[in-house]
Amino acid sequence: MSKRLPIGNHYVCIVSIETKDSAKGDGKNKVITLECIGDEYKGARHTLYWPITSADPHALAMARRREAEYISAACGADFERHSVRDIEGTVFRPFMLALEPSKAEWFSAKAMPCPAEHQIASEEACEALRKRLVPTAPKPGGGFDIITVSEVEAEEIDWLWPERFALGKLHIIAGEPGQGKSQFTLFMAAQTTNGGAWPNNEGSAPDGDVVILACEDDVADTMRPRLEAAGADLSRVHVAKAVAEGDGKRRGISLQTDLAKLEAVLARVDRLGRKVRLIIIDPVSAYMGDVDTHKEAAVRAVLEPVADFAARHDVAVVCVAHPPKVAAGGKAINAVTGAKAFVGASRAAWFIGPEFEKDDDGQRIETGRALFLLIKKNIGRKVSGLAYRVEEKDIPTKRGTTKAPYIRFETGEVAMSADDMLKPDTGSFGRKPLNKVEAAKAFLAVALKDGPVEQNQLVAKAKEAGIGYDTLNNARKALGIQSVTQGFQGLTMWAVFGWAPRPDQGPLFN
């Protein structure tokens, strides 16, 4: 391994700091050893000598300035405003070193922060180097990890949302498609980023950043408009869509293997003087790696490290889960697809579904409200449910405006339990499940009851409800629903056969 790196720019980190007498015997030097963590010179080292005692005040002043520059680069901060003066705290933190020729050794190396696109990879390389150079002692004999309770201080639970979502804990939200599960989590993200108030005077969120793992929704046309509609501070929301590999390829994120990468994101936010308070994983089934999600032990093996991660970083982790096709036994604890370990590993589990009431003929009809109800809770006290409606706002885009949904909570609590929601006579999920075409028929009956709807709008809303285009079109044909295109390249409208507008509505397809 060479002592010096060649002229040029290199990604490096500090691996050791020592104090030694100068070769001339005129004072002491701080000896800083850097190791390259990237490019073809990976592993090569460069040594810097900064005077810390000297008769030359100019040399001391320049050394102090250079030290501040290195601290700033390693912390990703503005050098002119950075106030940290402890370079010991920058060991194994990455930065860029620019080596220039024909200058005194202690002055020739200029430090700069890593470019953002290389930050995570550089942090991971530094962490791997730290583990290699500073090995941790193995636990003897592979025995139990014992905690003596008397050595642990009692603590109170810190809440993100009092009595509903706790910092340092794992949570699950399950429910039927189209009821606003993802929208609910984006409401939580908005409140977290601006310290907003929770419904029913339940306090305010401790303001912080939010990290979202989301593979199903596009950031530009779906997530950003919805976050804007919810009032989020967009500069504090960070969406992870995939893992960028070193060869330029991208792959899906796995909770089995990528918690260190998630940890690096939290560390980067910490260095900005902020803190991540909420992590949303939507849907959690997409991030379970190659495990069989119907096996208890396999699911726990993935989720328990996630729960430990939440506790270690004092962050609330909220996982969105889909329901099974049939709720076994009508119990809410069975309303999460896959193994029961999804609910078991969480400290609080919630269910979202539509509210129903009976009309004058005794038929069950939707009220238009969604209910947020407790499935189980191992911390704090038991709380009632909440009700909300999904509404829309006009959000500006680069080509005009788009309508974005957001949720509006209604005042008051809901006495119904999640188990009640799943009963055939009171809720929705416990009813006999419909096959795909029958479900699509029911969807169209509601969507077209007030008149024609443009085809693309129907297809988009059906997709949110888990109904594909082919199934929807088969249901349209089975019901005899009209599909009419008006004019050349005009809109295609769907309408119930025989529907006619009221006199004040004008032509059928205007």
pLDDT at 85: 52
> What is the pLDDT, as a whole number, of residue 213?
95
Higher pLDDT, 45 or 506: 45
Please state, in angstroms and rounded to a whole number, the distance separating the CA atoms of residues 352 and 44.
Answer: 56
Whether residue 39 is predicted with pLDDT greater than 80 in this model: the reply is: no
Whether the CB-CB separation of 352 and 173 falls below 8 Å is answered with yes
Highest mean pLDDT among 70-79, 88-97, 250-259: 250-259
User: What mean pLDDT comes out for the span 270-294?
Assistant: 91
Q: Is the pLDDT of residue 191 over 90?
A: yes
Query: What is the secondary structure of 7-74 as a DSSP string?
Result: SEEEEEEEEEEEEEE-TTSSSEEEEEEEEE-SSTTTT-EEEEEEESS-S-HHHHHHHHHHHHHHHHHH
Predicted confidence band at 40 (pLDDT cuts at 50, 70, 90)? confident
Q: How confident is the model at residue 303 (pLDDT cuts 50, 70, 90)?
A: very high
Higher pLDDT pick, 494 / 2: 494
CA distance 348 to 91: 39
- 3-class SS letters over 58-111: HHHHHHHHHHHHHHHHHHCCCCCCCCCCCHHHHECCEEEEEECCCCCHHHHEEE
Residue ranges per structural domain of the chain: 8-133, 159-421, 436-505
Global pTM exceeds 0.85: no
Contacts of 315 (CB under 8 A, 6+ apart): 167, 168, 266, 276, 277, 278, 279, 309
- Single-letter code of the amino acid located at 224: R
User: Any idea which of 87-96, 140-149, 174-183, 248-257 has the lowest mean pLDDT?
Assistant: 140-149
pLDDT per residue as tens digits for the range 335-372: 676 667 888 889 999 999 888 877 777 777 788 889 99
Can you state the angle between helices 116-133 and 259-271, rounded to 10 degrees? 110
pLDDT at 227: 96
Looking at every residue in the chain, the average pLDDT score rounds to 82
The answer to whether 237 and 277 are in contact (CB under 8 A) is no
The predicted pLDDT at position 377 comes to: 92
Q: Give the pair of three-digit tokens for residue 183.
A: 């929208």
Q: Model confidence at 502, in pLDDT bands (50, 70, 90)?
A: very low
Q: Would you state the pLDDT for residue 276?
A: 96
Which residues, other chains included, contact 155 with Cβ-Cβ below 8 Å and sequence gap of 6+?
none
Over residues 32-54, mean pLDDT = 85
* pLDDT one-digit tens code per residue, 131-171: 888 766 555 566 787 888 988 889 899 999 999 999 999 99
The torsion defined by the Cα of 467, 471, 472 and 476, in degrees rounded to 10, comes to -150
Phi and psi torsions of 289, nearest 5°? 70, -140
Q: What is the rounded average pLDDT of the residues 40-64?
A: 83
Topology match between the domains 159-421 and 436-505: no
Beta strands in 100-163 (DSSP E): 109-112, 159-161
CB contact at 8 A, 70 and 111:
yes
Task: List the beta strands (DSSP E) in 100-198.
Answer: 109-112, 159-161, 165-166, 170-175
501-507: average pLDDT: 45
Cβ count near 147 (within 10 Å): 8
Q: Residue 322 corresponds to which tokens in the numbers above?
A: 């889909």
Longest dimension (CA), the chain: 102
pLDDT tens-digit readout, 376-426: 899 999 899 999 999 999 999 988 999 999 999 998 888 887 877 777 655
Q: What is the pLDDT of residues 7-32, one digit of tens each?
A: 888 889 998 888 888 777 777 888 88
Give me the pLDDT at residue 490, please. Answer: 64
Confidence of residue 327 (pLDDT cuts 50, 70, 90): very low
The reported pLDDT for the residue numbered 473 is: 86
**Residue 451 backbone zone (phi > 0: left; psi -120 to 50: alpha; other: beta):** left
Q: Is pLDDT of 195 > 90?
A: yes
Question: Pairing between strand 243-244 and 250-251?
Answer: antiparallel
- Read off φ and ψ for residue 434, nearest 5 degrees: -85, 150
pLDDT for 433 beyond 50: no
CATH architecture for residues 436-505: Orthogonal Bundle (1.10)
- pLDDT level of residue 311 (50, 70, 90 thresholds): very high
State which fold the 159-421 domain adopts: Rossmann fold (3.40.50)
- pLDDT above 90 for 226: yes
What integer pLDDT is reported at residue 497 of this predicted model?
A: 61
Instruction: Work out the percent of the chain whose per-residue pLDDT is above 90.
Output: 30
- Is 421 in contact with 428 (CB distance < 8 Å)? yes
Mapping DSSP onto H, E and C, the string for 307-350 reads HHHHHHHCCEEEEEECCCCCCHHHCHHHCCCCCCHHHHHCCEEE
299-313, 435-449, 452-466, range with the lowest pLDDT: 435-449
Residue 449 three-state SS: coil
The confidence band for 233, taking pLDDT boundaries of 50, 70 and 90, is very high
Q: What is the pLDDT of residue 57?
A: 82
Spatial separation of the C-alpha atoms in residues 470 and 454, rounded to whole Å: 17
- 78 vs 475, more confident: 475
Using alpha carbons, select from 273, 325, 354, 348 the residue that is nearest to residue 435.
Answer: 325
pLDDT of 510:
37
Is residue 106 classed exposed, middle or buried when 0-12, 13-18 and 19+ CB atoms within 10 A define those classes?
A: middle
